[in-house]
């Protein structure tokens, strides 16, 4: 795997371990309890994160088949990433895109962990096989900001997970 991709993946995995650590010591009821203000439960938040990661994985898997015919990423991709990162740390709230906004009322935490493991295994496999010659190509279209290269896509995923890590903490009354 490319060193930059490996570092991004390792960072994502570290954050995922932190998020899953927030769940320790809470029973299934607490993990599934919606916030008093009507927000998602901790497991609903993570269901959304996993759906977003899976959808991104599927999109990148399809796009990478275009090889060197894909347009090159550049400054515009980086600016899109910076815009998304700024939005995620701002106090503004955004609706999740419809494709990842549907969450079940009750979620089994064991099944959620297993599903996230599968998605992350899929990401690891994709990153190991990702051709070096298209590392600078646009391989992901974010619903709000448009096309991004793979390094910026992984950085977006990191920001997305960190944003929702805070949300999980609030749902569990620890942040």
Write down the pTM of the prediction: 0.92
Q: Three-state DSSP class for 146?
A: strand
* CATH homologous superfamily for the domain 3-171: dinb family like domain (1.20.120.450)
Instruction: Please tell me the predicted confidence (pLDDT) of residue 175.
Output: 58
> In the chain, what are the domain boundaries?
3-171
pLDDT at residue 99 above 80?
A: no
pLDDT at residue 67 above 80?
A: yes
Instruction: Tell me the C-alpha to C-alpha distance, in Å, between residue 115 and each of 22, 42, 110.
Output: 18, 16, 9
- Rounded to 5 degrees, φ, ψ at 139 are -125, 0
């Amino acid at each position: 795997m490319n060193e930059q991709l490996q570092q991004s993946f390792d960072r994502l995995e570290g954050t995922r371990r932190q998020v899953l650590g927030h769940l320790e010591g809470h029973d299934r009821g607490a993990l599934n309890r919606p916030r008093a203000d009507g927000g998602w439960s901790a497991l609903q938040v993570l269901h959304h994160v996993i759906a977003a990661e899976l959808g991104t994985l599927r999109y990148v898997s399809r796009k990478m088949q275009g090889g060197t015919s894909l347009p090159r990423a550049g400054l515009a991709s980086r600016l899109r990433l910076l815009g998304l990162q700024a939005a995620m740390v701002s106090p503004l709230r955004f609706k999740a895109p419809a494709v990842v906004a549907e969450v079940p009322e009750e979620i089994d935490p064991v099944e959620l962990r297993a599903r996230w493991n599968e998605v992350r295994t899929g990401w690891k496999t994709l990153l190991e096989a990702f051709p070096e010659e298209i590392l600078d190509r646009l391989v992901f279209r974010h619903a709000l900001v448009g096309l991004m290269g793979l390094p910026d896509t992984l950085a977006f995923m990191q920001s997305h997970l960190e944003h929702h890590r805070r949300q999980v903490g609030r749902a569990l009354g620890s942040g």
